[in-house]
Amino acid sequence: MRAISDEHASIIKAATAAAYEALGGVSRAAEALGVASSTLTKYASTGEEWRDSFIRLDLAAELDRRCAHPFLLTAMSRIVKDERVSSFGAVTASAVLRLDGVLDDVVRTVAQAIEDGRIDAAERQAIRNRIVAAKQDLARLEAMMIDGAAA
Choice between 101 and 113, residue whose per-residue pLDDT is larger: 113
Q: What is the DSSP string of 8-64?
A: HHHHHHHHHHHHHHHTTSHHHHHHHHTS-HHHHHHHH--SGGGTT----HHHHHHHH
Instruction: Categorize the per-residue pLDDT at 74 as very low, low, confident or very high, splitting at 50, 70 and 90.
Output: confident
Confidence band for 89, pLDDT divided at 50, 70 and 90: very low
**Per-residue pLDDT for 102 more than 60?**
yes
Does residue 69 contact residue 104 with C-beta atoms inside 8 Å?
yes
Rounded to two decimals, the pTM is 0.59
Instruction: For residue range 7-56, list pLDDT tens digits in order.
Output: 788 888 888 888 888 888 899 999 999 999 999 999 988 888 998 999 99
Assess whether pLDDT exceeds 60 at residue 79: yes
Contact between 10 and 46 (Cβ < 8 Å): yes
Instruction: Output 26 or 78, whichever has higher pLDDT.
Output: 26
pLDDT in tens, 104-151: 989 999 999 999 999 999 999 889 888 877 876 776 676 666 555 444
More confident residue, 88 or 131: 131
Taking 50 as the threshold, does the pLDDT of residue 88 lie above it?
A: no
